[in-house]
Amino acid sequence: MIEGGISVGLDITWAVDWVRRSAQVIADHRVELITLDREIGDGDHGENMDRGFQAVLPKLDDLAAGSTPGDVLKLVATTLISTVGGAAGPLYGTAYLKAAAAAGGAVSLDGTAIAAILTAARDGVVSRGKAESGDKTMIDAWTPAVDAADAAAAAGVDAAGVFAAAADAAEAGAVATEPLVARKGRASYLGERSAGHRDPGAESSALLLRAAADAAAASAGA
């Protein structure tokens, strides 16, 4: 959406592009996610996430005219909940559902709105999974991302910049899960042996936020 020649926010075009890029990046990293999950979990994360996002793609074509970014987020939520199968289904499903609620009926989302959406998504994952920072879960990517997004939004950075900050922080957070001992999820059964491996949920979270940032950058450049 262009207003006075300046990109002021992220709209439905961005949201749909984000989902397509998400599906692509998850497919590209499917084997990597499976490998990470096989090391400390049940080995199905890459396959489950790929199935979930591939199931979203055809539904994008059925979006009604006048749909909002919130509608897209809700579509992703319900599809992931029904198709993913592992813990990632309810966790990501809840994240997208809470994000959709935070987006409301807004046609365009500015930096402050993006920070609010990311906060709602993270809070949804926390309430569903009961994990805390340092438990070696996707929260360890999400919480730094939310903190970075809040700081960027408070500094007046635009929506694309907020997502870029969030993606950078999520990637660093995912890497930082490597030495941690898992306290939640299937990896917690491994105890100390879970240290030395990156958490697959934190990794997929970072991938999805990077896809959002890339879509936002493309949208801002358009």
Partner 1 sequence: MAVPGKVGLLFVSHSAAIATGLVELARQMAPTATLVAAGGTDDGRIGTSFDLVSAGITEADSGSGVVVLCDLGSAILTAETALDFLDDDARARVRIVDAPLVEGGVAAAVAAEAGDPLEVVVAAAESARGAATAASAGAVSSGETADDGANIGAAASGYTRSIRLVNSDGLHARPAAELVKLASTFPQKVTVNGTDAKSLLGIMSLGLTKGAQVDISSRDLSGREAVDALAALAESGFGES
Give 39 or 42: the residue with its C-beta nearer to partner 1: 42
DSSP one-letter string for the chain: -EETTEE--B-HHHHHHHHHHHHHHHHHTHHHHHHHHHHHS-S-HHHHHHHHHHHHHHHHTTPPTT--HHHHHHHHHHHHHHH--STHHHHHHHHHHHHHHHHTT-SSB-HHHHHHHHHHHHHHHHHHH---TTSSSTHHHHHHHHHHHHHHHHTT--HHHHHHHHHHHHHHHHHTTTTPPP-SSGGGGGGGGGTTS--HHHHHHHHHHHHHHHHHHHHHH-
Nearer to partner 1, 59 or 128 (CB): 128
Rank residues 20 and 59 by Cβ distance to partner 1 and give the closer one. 59
User: Which residues lie near partner 1 (CB under 8 A)?
Assistant: 42, 44, 48, 81-83, 85-91, 93-94, 128-129, 184-186
Q: How far is the CB of 22 from partner 1 (least distance, A)?
A: 20
Nearer to partner 1, 70 or 89 (CB): 89
Q: Smaller CB distance to partner 1: residue 38 or 128? A: 128
> What's the min distance (Å) between Cβ of 54 and partner 1?
14
Please state, in angstroms and rounded to a whole number, the distance separating the CA atoms of residues 211 and 219. Answer: 12
Report angle CA 190, 194, 196 to the nearest 5 degrees.
160
- Residue among 85 and 151 whose Cβ is closer to partner 1: 85
* CA–CA dist 183, 188 (Å, integer): 5
Rounded least distance, CB 200 to partner 1, Å: 13
Smallest gap from residue 158 Cβ to partner 1 (A): 33
Smallest separation, CB 12 to partner 1 (Å) = 25
- Smallest distance from partner 1 to CB 43, Å: 10
